[in-house]
Structure 1
């Protein structure tokens, strides 16, 4: 029983340590997985995993390992920010794989991509035919950025010479039956106003809502459970 308690305790400490480290290092460690970031994630997970199941390793060793690895990552991040020449090696660099509508075969081979994989990446960006792409850039995190040829680009308001329209973000007011008070205040409304609006739409209380959002142009949108 004591052994299971120790494993659980080590896991909690390891999780907290990794969470704090991720907060310090920033969101790019999660959202932009470069080759270096991938190695970092593997090593950190391995450190905690080995520490949990190795009886000779205690909490101090876990935290020390996380601290040292975190310092190494932080130092390398500083180096890449200050010394531009280190970025291609440590972070990689984008690669143009379609240039003026033509596939650059050498760049495909260099990045270990075949045509099927290229088509898959293009489809993820809404491009279902290679002929639609004017430029395609393989980013350092493995994603692709695509600039379509002019005939395949959707028309814009500017194309039709329409007046510009202000862009406003919708504000989530209710999520899973829970009222988000700070968003309601940010919108400039009160709970009594929301209750009145809901009654006009035949909803008894916000607790019956799966989701509700406010948009200045379109008003209140609600969806019940």
Structure 2
């Protein structure tokens, strides 16, 4: 249970160093965008890379070459998806979610909360975490595409309801 063999430990050490080096090299070649967490799809790829690395390290049935190929495949697929989404708005709409405004000018938007399966208490917790105690001083709370919340302060100068594009700009 605590120790299997010296050969097993040696395999983890050697394969771990080589697989880690391969992953670092692949990530450097593929660019910074590979590990961003701009949306749920990006998060899934990041988790899949970690899971694949762990499998290569700990499973004797997965050879190093197979594991490196699996890592490379995930990175190539991520690169392809992001390349296509940058060049095709239609493809981007299939892959990426849109941000959703949950609160505007101190008013909770119940339909948006229900659609995104977020409770009023969760929005209030986000506001407390940001040090916001007065809803009238909060312009908007937005559920971003990666599942994080953005809190925008200030009442705003105009009375027009902003779009998500105008709200996100500083």
Indicate how the Cα distance of structure 1 residues 32 and 43 shifts in structure 2: closer, same or farther if over 3 A, else same.
closer
For residues 87-124 of structure 1, the C-alpha deviation after alignment (integer angstroms, 9 at most, x for no partner) is 24323111111234321111112222111211122233
Gaps of 5+ in 2: 1-5, 157-170
Which of these residues, 143, 150, 154, is aligned with residue 145 of structure 1? Answer: 150
Which of these residues, 57, 67, 71, is aligned with residue 66 of structure 1? Answer: 71
CA–CA distance in 1 between the matches of 2:138 and 2:146?
20
Determine the structure 1 residue equivalent to 2:61. 56
Q: Which protein, 1 or 2, shows the higher relative CO under an 8 Å CA cutoff with sep ≥ 6?
A: 2
Indicate how the Cα distance of structure 1 residues 129 and 37 shifts in structure 2: closer, same or farther if over 3 A, else same.
same
Q: TM-score, normalised by structure 1?
A: 0.59
CA–CA distance in 2 between the matches of 1:104 and 1:89?
25
- Which runs of at least 4 in structure 1 moved beyond 4 Å after TM superposition? 28-31
CA–CA distance in 2 between the matches of 1:91 and 1:22?
22
Gaps of 5+ in 1: 152-225
CA–CA distance in 1 between the matches of 2:96 and 2:62?
32
Contact kept in structure 2, 1:135 and 1:148, CA below 8 Å: yes
Determine the structure 1 residue equivalent to 2:126. 121
Q: CA deviation at 1:83?
A: 0.8
Contact kept in structure 2, 1:34 and 1:140, CA below 8 Å: yes
Indicate how the Cα distance of structure 1 residues 122 and 86 shifts in structure 2: closer, same or farther if over 3 A, else same.
farther
Indicate how the Cα distance of structure 1 residues 21 and 126 shifts in structure 2: closer, same or farther if over 3 A, else same.
farther
Q: TM-score, normalised by structure 2?
A: 0.76
SS in 1 for 2:150: strand
Aligned length: 151
Alignment of 1:1-225 (within 5 A): 1-150=6-155
Q: CA deviation at 1:36?
A: 0.6
Contact kept in structure 2, 1:121 and 1:143, CA below 8 Å: no
Indicate how the Cα distance of structure 1 residues 91 and 20 shifts in structure 2: closer, same or farther if over 3 A, else same.
farther
Structure with larger Rg: 1
SS in 2 for 1:13: helix
CA–CA distance in 1 between the matches of 2:22 and 2:126?
35
